[in-house]
């Protein structure tokens, strides 16, 4: 799961969260699945997504799924990065399947940095704490639990429901299960649309619900390397040619460049709603920018909000530096990693051309492998937005829903590249600080998890018929 623009919009309508203890039998069963998944280490360094997938698969089989309904996948070079696809066949062959997508891997977590054991689910002060409690094991557990409940409850959907649990979402340099499925097994995950992470809901500081968001589109993440080389020499006799200075000039050029403002249908809707919710200078500036994307004064005001700034354009930022070989020698080599989040429709190649222009002739600029697909935004399809909004009105009355574009990236980009529109579902509310996702002491409110589970269960049934 990635940072999203809606997390920083102004406070809108709020309502208290209902007090809901996990006392229903189905909630207790869900907690057992969620706890097992969270406590299974799935980091790249020491964990195993393959183990987590096998545990989910065992639960699906206990619920009544046949061996033919479950496909495990991995490759010999990455035996611990496996996943699974499970299928609940629908009764109407004329309806194309729907796909439930979640990733099993989590960001690294060092025990010495955390207050609590990051791989032990701990309930404290109304929260569940552990790595992955939100990203993305909440989604993976909710989808898996729904598939189990459908089977044990005898539910016969009209539309076939597919579940894909993958690995590798959190690391651009690792083997990626979603990319593998899209390239090697597209028929297995073929669907009319997919529901994924990336949406959600925001709470204020008191735990009241402010808004829901559905992700409709995302940026593409791509890393580039800047490289400068010089003959070097003794540091007592410096020369104008210096790899570090040349690299620094190129990095500063990137810092000083603003990619142009752009809009998709999704971001137009998002900013239009934000303008109404944010009266005064900010609201006025958003309105002017919607009318004229080249309005620099309006852009400067709106871009004071870092999330809105990123939602408006491609962004590139230096994230890693490495230079020199000795403290008493002129540098022979200097490199920088430039991390770009590319606006939908823009290409890796086009962004590379701009970075080369900025860096100048003395700097070699290359796109790092793997090169991710061009982001293709799905449409604001009424067949998707209608059910999402209708079911939300039942579970979260009075809470507005905003369409938004993720400023980060998810595995949905690989499925969108083969023609499957992917939507990040709302439903699970998190705190304004994103609940420690990717950081220390990741957490989710207990009530948020169970309320979101109920919403998403009903939403899937609504889509499935």
Per-residue pLDDT of 129-148, as tens digits, reads 999 999 999 999 999 999 99
Polymer length in residues for the chain: 465
Please give the Cα distance from 23 to 89 (Å, whole number): 31
| Domain end marker among 367, 395, 421 | 367
Q: Are strands 422-424 and 122-124 parallel, antiparallel or unpaired?
A: unpaired
Average pLDDT (172-176) is: 90
- Residues 37, 130, single domain; the answer is yes
Dihedral angle, C-alpha 427, 432, 433, 434, nearest 10 °: 10
- Residues 229, 147, single domain; the answer is no
Please give the Cα distance from 306 to 86 (Å, whole number): 39
Angle between the N-to-C axes of helices 446-464 and 382-395, in degrees from 0 to 180, rounded to the nearest 10: 140
- Residues 308, 356, single domain; the answer is yes
What's the pLDDT score for residue 278? 86
What's the pLDDT score for residue 16? 46
pLDDT at residue 102 is higher than 70:
yes
Is 130:121 a contact under the CB 8 Å cutoff? yes
What's the pLDDT score for residue 410? 94
Q: Is the pTM of this model over 0.95?
A: no
What's the pLDDT score for residue 13? 39
pLDDT at residue 110 is higher than 70:
yes
Average pLDDT (205-226) is: 94
- Residues 139, 251, single domain; the answer is no
Average pLDDT (221-242) is: 96
Please give the Cα distance from 153 to 144 (Å, whole number): 14
- Residues 139, 42, single domain; the answer is yes
Please give the Cα distance from 433 to 445 (Å, whole number): 13
Average pLDDT (240-262) is: 97
- Residues 229, 200, single domain; the answer is no
Pick from 61-75, 287-301, 428-442: least confident: 428-442
- Residues 45, 11, single domain; the answer is yes
- Residues 336, 382, single domain; the answer is no
- Which one is predicted more confidently, 158 or 21? 158
Q: pLDDT band at residue 58, thresholds of 50, 70 and 90? A: very high
- Residues 243, 157, single domain; the answer is no
What's the pLDDT score for residue 359? 98
9 in the Ramachandran plot: left (φ > 0), alpha (ψ -120 to 50) or beta? beta
What's the pLDDT score for residue 15? 46
What's the pLDDT score for residue 173? 84
CATH of the domain at 243: 3.30.70.360
- Residues 126, 76, single domain; the answer is yes
Total domains, the chain: 2
Please give the Cα distance from 203 to 201 (Å, whole number): 7
pLDDT at residue 175 is higher than 90:
yes
Per-residue pLDDT of 16-25, as tens digits, reads 444 445 679 9
- Residues 117, 200, single domain; the answer is yes
Share of the chain above pLDDT 90, in %: 89
Per-residue pLDDT of 348-394, as tens digits, reads 999 999 999 999 999 999 999 989 899 998 999 999 999 999 999 99
Q: How many CB atoms lie within 10 A of CB 368?
A: 15
Please give the Cα distance from 89 to 161 (Å, whole number): 7
What's the pLDDT score for residue 10? 40
- Residues 36, 169, single domain; the answer is yes
What's the pLDDT score for residue 432? 85
| Domain end marker among 310, 337, 367 | 367
CATH of the domain at 15: 3.40.630.10
What's the pLDDT score for residue 237? 97
Range of the domain at 137: 5-218+376-464
């Amino acid at each position: 799961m990635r940072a999203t623009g809606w997390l920083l919009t102004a406070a809108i309508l709020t309502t208290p969260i209902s007090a809901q203890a996990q006392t229903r039998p189905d909630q207790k069963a869900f907690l057992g699945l969620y706890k097992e998944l969270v406590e299974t280490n799935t980091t790249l360094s020491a964990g195993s997504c393959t183990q987590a997938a096998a545990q989910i698969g065992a639960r699906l089989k206990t619920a009544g799924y046949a061996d033919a309904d479950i496909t495990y996948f991995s490759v010999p070079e990455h035996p611990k990065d496996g996943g699974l696809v499970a299928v609940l066949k629908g009764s109407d062959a004329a309806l194309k399947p729907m796909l439930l997508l979640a990733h099993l891997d989590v960001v690294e977590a060092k025990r010495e940095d955390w207050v609590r054991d990051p791989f032990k689910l701990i309930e404290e002060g109304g929260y569940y704490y552990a790595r992955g409690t939100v990203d993305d094991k909440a989604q993976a557990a909710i989808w898996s639990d729904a598939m189990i409940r459908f089977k044990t409850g005898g539910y016969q959907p009209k539309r076939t429901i597919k579940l894909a649990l993958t690995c590798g979402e959190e690391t651009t340099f690792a083997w990626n299960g979603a990319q593998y499925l899209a390239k090697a097994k597209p028929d297995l995950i073929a669907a009319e649309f997919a529901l994924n992470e990336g949406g959600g809901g925001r709470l204020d500081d008191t735990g009241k619900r402010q808004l829901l968001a559905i992700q409709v589109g995302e940026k593409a993440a791509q890393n580039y390397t800047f490289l400068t080389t010089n003959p070097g020499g003794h540091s007592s006799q410096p020369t104008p040619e210096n790899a570090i200075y040349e690299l620094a000039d190129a990095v500063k050029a990137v810092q000083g460049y603003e990619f142009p403002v752009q809009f998709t249908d999704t971001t137009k809707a998002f900013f239009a709603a934000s303008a109404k919710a944010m009266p005064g200078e900010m609201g006025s500036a958003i309105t002017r920018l919607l009318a004229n994307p080249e309005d620099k004064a309006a852009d400067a005001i709106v871009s004071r909000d870092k999330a809105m700034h990123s939602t408006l354009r491609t962004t590139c930022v230096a994230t890693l530096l490495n230079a020199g070989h000795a403290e008493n020698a002129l540098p022979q080599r200097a490199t920088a990693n430039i991390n770009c989040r590319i606006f939908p429709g823009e290409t890796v190649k086009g962004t590379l051309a701009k970075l080369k222009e900025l860096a100048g002739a003395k700097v070699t600029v290359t796109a790092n492998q793997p090169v991710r697909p061009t982001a293709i935004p799905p449409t604001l399809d009424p067949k998707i937005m209608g059910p999402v909004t209708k079911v939300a009105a039942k579970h979260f009355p009075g809470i507005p829903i905003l369409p938004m574009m993720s400023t980060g990236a998810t595995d949905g980009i690989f499925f969108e590249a083969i023609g499957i529109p992917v939507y990040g579902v709302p439903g699970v509310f998190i705190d304004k600080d994103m609940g420690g996702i990717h950081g220390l002491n990741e957490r989710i409110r207990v009530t948020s998890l169970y309320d979101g589970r109920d919403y998403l269960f009903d939403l899937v049934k609504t889509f499935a018929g």
